[in-house]
Amino acid sequence: MLQGKSAVITGSTSGIGFGIAKVLARAGANIMLNGFADAATIDACKAEIAGLNVKVAFNPCDVSKADQVEGMIDSTLQALGSVDIMVNNAGIQFVAPVEEFPLAKWDAVLGTNLSAAFYATRKVVPLMKAKGWGRIINIASVQGLVGSLGKAAYVAAKHGLVGLTKVVGLETAGSGVTCNAICPGWVLTPLVQQQIDAIAARDGLDNTAASEKLLSEKQPSLQFVQTEDVGAMALYLCSDAAQQVTGTALSIDGGWAAR
């Protein structure tokens, strides 16, 4: 379905980003990977994507820096020939009560989770409009729709990302370009595993019991969303069937937001 198209996916050397990369590559898309990882991990990710018979490249840019994001898009054009799909996935987390929240952590979370998506979108929209086709997919969070204790910066950034999605969806309507947000609940990524480990250490639980405790607090299905479930939703948004889906926030959260 995506043969001849190219996708840039930020934060794609692990977790949700790499899951999306694999799904889009299986559909024929060339992939620009991005993220912070050691050389062995990067090489393994590139090899796995290349094994799906598509082109693959890697750019190590810090997505919180506008000039580096623009450079990544330029390098994608050189390496892969086009930017047809932009997946803004990179994210970081910090937890503290609002009155104790460090200013530097606020700036870092907003920079990586929100500003980065703006920088990339600003750069790729003209390219996509000129071709009359493009897909911008922002990986927000169910916490872009609801609040959560101790996560002032993350929740603010993800709510902002949903708002950005609506504006870009409106501004590109009718152009062949769509912009949508995917809002996952708990996905078993390294970031979430850290929270499970913290619960296990705090409450003296094993990994299974700690996982169940985490899920029971928010996610009625009591099951983790899989990274490739998010990839499948991204693939749908790239399809012709979704050409009139734009400016939306799509939940994949086991019922979290329905509470």
In tens digits, the chain (259 residues) has pLDDT values of: 999 999 999 999 999 999 999 999 999 999 999 999 999 999 999 999 999 999 999 999 999 999 999 999 999 999 999 999 999 999 999 999 999 999 999 999 999 999 999 999 999 999 999 999 999 999 999 999 999 999 999 999 999 999 999 999 999 999 999 999 999 999 988 778 888 999 999 999 999 999 999 999 899 999 999 999 999 999 999 999 999 999 999 999 999 999 8
Per-residue model confidence (pLDDT) at position 29: 98
Is 154 assigned a catalytic role? yes
pTM: 0.94
Question: What is the pLDDT, as a whole number, of residue 258?
Answer: 92
* pLDDT for res 253: 95
Q: Domain segments of the chain: what residues?
A: 6-185+226-251, 187-224
In angstroms, the CA 47 to CA 29 distance is 15
Q: So what's the pLDDT on residue 39?
A: 95
Angle of helix 152-172 versus helix 116-131 axis, rounded to 10: 20
pLDDT at 131: 97
pLDDT at 190: 79
Both tokens of residue 78? 């050189």
> Cα–chain-centroid distance for residue 31?
14
Question: Which CATH code of 3.40.50.740, 3.90.1150.10, 3.40.640.10, 3.40.50.720 fits the domain covering 6-185+226-251?
Answer: 3.40.50.720
What pLDDT score does 192 carry? 87
Phi, psi dihedral angles at 122 (to 5 degrees): -55, -35
User: Pick the catalytic residue: 18, 58, 119, 154?
Assistant: 154
Sign of the alpha-carbon dihedral angle for 244, 128, 145, 32:
positive
- The reported pLDDT for the residue numbered 191 is 76
Tell me, what's the pLDDT at 245?
98
The 3-state secondary structure of 25-43, one letter per residue: HHCCCEEEEECCCCHHHHH
**CA 237, CA 52: separation in Å to the nearest integer?**
21
- Residue 259: predicted pLDDT: 85
Note the pLDDT of residue 130.
98
Quickly count helices (H) and strands (E) in the chain.
9, 7
